[in-house]
Amino acid sequence: MSKPMGPSKDYKSFTIDGKQPRIVIDMFKIKSPFKKEQRLAVKSPWVKQVRHFGYADKVRLVLDTPKASLAKYSAAPTANGLMIHVGKVPATPAAGKSAGRRHPKRKSAGGAKGKTG
C-alpha cells in the first residue's frame, strides 16, 4: 500500500455487522500500487484478517474481526499516516478516539445504530 506523505486526515470509517463482521476505513488522496485485493492473515483475538483494495479515489482497508471488536476500535491521524487500534484502545491523546478526522461518523450496517467517534 502506498504511504501517505503526512497525516492522513481525509478518511472515514464504519463497521459492518452480520455474519462477517468488519471494520472498514476509506482513506482518500492515496493510491495503491496493487491491481487486485491484497490480504494479510493476522494472529490476534481482535482481527482475523486485513484486506485492502485500491480504487481511483481511495484505498479501502477492511479488518475482518469478531463481532465484539466492532465497538473496540479507534483511528487517528499521526505525523506519518493513520494509527488504527483494535481491542483495548490506549488512552493517549495521539491515539485518541479519532480526533481531528474530517469524516467523524461511524456507521453500522445490519440494523445496529451508528456511533460517532
27 with 5: CB under 8 angstroms? Answer: no
Task: List C-alpha distances in Å: 14 to 33, 44, 80, 85, 111.
Answer: 24, 20, 22, 14, 13
Going from N- to C-terminal start, the domains of the chain cover 11-105
pLDDT along the chain (117 residues), means of 10: 54 92 92 90 93 92 93 86 82 45 40 37
Best CA proximity match to 80, nearest among 2, 26, 27, 6: 6
The sign of the dihedral angle between the CA atoms of 108, 80, 29, 55 is negative
Q: pTM above 0.85?
A: no
